[in-house]
Structure 1
Amino acid sequence: MTNELSKKDDKMEVEYKVNGQSIKLTGNMVQNFLTNGNSKITPQETMMFLSLCKYQKLNPFINEAYIIKYGSAPAQIIVSKEAFMKRAESNPDYDGIEAGCIAINEDDDDPRYTKGAFILPDETLVGGWAQVYRKDRKIPTRIEISLTEFQKTKNGRPSSTWASMPANMIRKTAMVNALREAFPQDLGNMYTEDDKQEASETPKNASQASQGNITNINDLTKTKKEQIKVANDPKDVTPKAEDKKPVQKVQVRKPVNLNQLEKFEKEQKAFLKQAKEGEDDSNAETDESEPIEENPNQTELFDTK
Structure 2
Amino acid sequence: MNSTFNPSTNRQVPATRDKSTTYALANGEEIKLSTSTVREYLVRGNGAVSDQEVMMFIALCKSQKLNPFVNDAYLIKYGDRQPASIVVGKGALEKRAELNPNYDGKENGIIVLSDNGELEYRQGALAAKGENIVGGWATVYRKDRGRPEHVEVSFDEYVGRKSNGEINGQWATKPATMIQKVAVAQALRQAFPNDLNGMYASEEMDQAQPEPIEMPVSAPVESIPAPAPEVITVDPVQQRFTADDLI
Short-chain TM bin: 0.7 to 0.9
Paired residue secondary structure (1:103): strand
Aligned residue in 1 for 2:202: 193
Aligned residue in 1 for 2:42: 34
| 1:56-85 deviation per Cα after TM superposition (whole angstroms, max 9, x unaligned) | 011112222111112211111122221110
Give, in whole Å, the separation in 2 of the partners of 1:114 and 1:14. 46
Give, in whole Å, the separation in 2 of the partners of 1:81 and 1:185. 17
Structure 1 range deviating more: 78-87 or 88-97: 78-87
Paired residue secondary structure (1:106): coil
Aligned residue in 1 for 2:64: 56
Aligned residue in 2 for 1:115: 123
Correspondence 1:164 to 2:164: no
Structure 1: state its 5+ residue gaps: 202-305
| 1:169-196 deviation per Cα after TM superposition (whole angstroms, max 9, x unaligned) | 1111110010001111110111221222
Aligned 8 A contact 1:130 1:175 in 2: yes
Measured on the aligned residues, the alpha-carbon RMSD in Å equals 1.6
Aligned 8 A contact 1:105 1:122 in 2: no
Give, in whole Å, the separation in 2 of the partners of 1:42 and 1:50. 13
- Map residues 45-84 of structure 1 onto 2, 5 A cutoff: 45-71=53-79, 72-84=81-93
Aligned residue in 1 for 2:112: 103
Give, in whole Å, the separation in 2 of the partners of 1:147 and 1:2. 47
Aligned amino acid, residue 84 of structure 1: L
Q: Which of the pair is proportionally richer in strand? A: 2
Give, in whole Å, the separation in 1 of the partners of 2:2 and 2:153. 44
Aligned amino acid, residue 119 of structure 1: A
* Greater relative contact order (CA < 8 Å, ≥ 6 in sequence): 2
| 1:193-236 deviation per Cα after TM superposition (whole angstroms, max 9, x unaligned) | 122245435xxxxxxxxxxxxxxxxxxxxxxxxxxxxxxxxxxx
Paired-residue identity, %: 47
Give, in whole Å, the separation in 1 of the partners of 2:209 and 2:99. 33
Give, in whole Å, the separation in 2 of the partners of 1:121 and 1:159. 17
Aligned amino acid, residue 23 of structure 2: Y
Aligned 8 A contact 1:27 1:46 in 2: yes
Aligned 8 A contact 1:97 1:132 in 2: yes
| 1:26-53 deviation per Cα after TM superposition (whole angstroms, max 9, x unaligned) | 1111112111111110001000000000
Q: How does the TM-score come out when normalised to structure 2?
A: 0.76
1:23 aligned residue (15, 31, 38): 31
Aligned 8 A contact 1:70 1:199 in 2: no
Give, in whole Å, the separation in 2 of the partners of 1:193 and 1:122. 25
Give, in whole Å, the separation in 2 of the partners of 1:26 and 1:68. 17
Note the C-alpha offset of 1:159: 1.4
Note the C-alpha offset of 1:90: 0.1
Aligned 8 A contact 1:15 1:24 in 2: yes
Note the C-alpha offset of 1:123: 2.3
Correspondence 1:173 to 2:187: no
Correspondence 1:148 to 2:168: no
Distance 1:2 1:40, change over 3 A: farther
Q: Which of the pair is proportionally richer in helix? A: 1
Note the C-alpha offset of 1:122: 5.4
Aligned 8 A contact 1:126 1:147 in 2: yes
Largest Rg, 1 or 2 = 1
Correspondence 1:139 to 2:128: no
Aligned 8 A contact 1:127 1:144 in 2: yes
| 1:111-156 deviation per Cα after TM superposition (whole angstroms, max 9, x unaligned) | 1111111013452111100000001110100000011111111121
